[in-house]
Amino acid sequence: MKDVYVIDLIQDFLEHVEIEKGRSLNTVRNYELYLNRFYEICSEDLNHEMKPADIDAEMLRKYRLKLNRHEDEHHHRLTPQTQAYHLIALRGFLKYLARRQIKSLDPSLVDLPKTHRPQVTFLHYDEVQAMLDEIDLDTETGLRDRAIIELLFSGGLRVSELCNLNRDDINLERKEFVVRGKGSKDRPIFIDDSAASRVKDYLCARHDSLPALFLNNSRNHGETDTKGDYRRLTPRSIQRIIEKYTRAAGITKHVTPHTLRHSFATDLLMNGADLRSVQSLLGHSDISTTQIYTHITDTHLKDIHKKYHSETN
């Protein structure tokens, strides 16, 4: 029987994840990064090309140790969450081998490290309004930036979902549309009258026929990209826009586009929305992901504290 090597099987697995599992290209690229790192770290101790049977409990132990001590060029260590992503990719790869009846380490032996969710940062409505008040609406850029912030706060979009929007994707009359989120799952997005009006104002100010909903200010007409995607805003560009108005409003919190998604969720819960509905609006597959917001939106606990806690004179 012809020998099979791990490096070739990793490529087969990535194609399986993309085609048969239907995962996004971003997910595939992440899996490729994690599994290539596994291969580089673990093949150092071998004097031959790594085979599936070489992956055993001892190799896993050493890999986890080196992963925990791994530093990038800036001497930053991998967070427990990032280490967990590496191990999830490895476990998925081992499950793939098991289904193909290729002898290797039992995937059930890959335990994930305990991780702690980071503290959720969100903005109250008045803080969002303070950001909006700093925007100059006499320019096309200002109209764009206002539409972006209102859309993020009103619809709870991920920044990647926002960047991928085209003009034709969003129905400003019905104030609803569909985005394809993580895991290639579609979900409805609903926006308020103000957000719809701001997007309409921005589109009316534009004098181009490019499909992207939000454009950067580049006027480089030498580009040959007929779709106009060279002018589509990137997640990093939107991050800079958010940072600009956060500073201008005097907000000292670290605010990102995802902070506005957190703010969308907490605003709903604080105003009485049920957890299941918020889960659906955010596109969370597991309600435990949505539950990170409950400890900061549980007004019942505030009432209990006010009623029963002794106040000092």
CA 227 to chain centroid, in Å, comes to 25
- 284 among known catalytic residues: yes
Separation of alpha carbons 154 and 261, rounded Å: 9
Residue 214 · residue 233 · CB < 8 Å: yes
Catalytic residue among 16, 158, 175, 198: 158
Is 293 annotated as catalytic? yes
Which two three-digit tokens encode residue 234?
């990137």
The contacts of residue 151 (CB under 8 Å, 6+ apart) are: 157, 162, 191, 195, 198, 199
Catalytic residue among 182, 187, 200, 244: 182
CA distances from 35 to 63, 77, 307 (A): 11, 18, 54
Q: Of the candidates 34, 65, 115, which has an alpha carbon nearest to the alpha carbon of residue 288? A: 115
d(CA 109, CA 111): 6
Active-site residue, from 31, 34, 63, 293: 293
CA–CA gap between residue 176 and residue 190 (Å, rounded): 4
* Residue 181 vs residues 20, 186, 233, 264, 283: alpha-carbon distances, Å: 18, 6, 18, 16, 7
Which residue in the list 23, 64, 232, 261 is annotated as catalytic?
261
* H or E element, residue 186: strand 186-190
Q: Is 182 a catalytic residue?
A: yes
Residues 83, 77: Cα–Cα separation, whole Å: 10
What SS3 class is residue 40? helix
Identity at 275, one-letter amino acid code: L
Give the angle 80-86-90 at the CA atoms, nearest 5°: 140
Contact 130, 251 (CB under 8 A): yes
Q: Give the Cα separation of 70 and 51 in Å (integer).
A: 24
- Residues serving a catalytic function are 158, 182, 258, 261, 284, 293
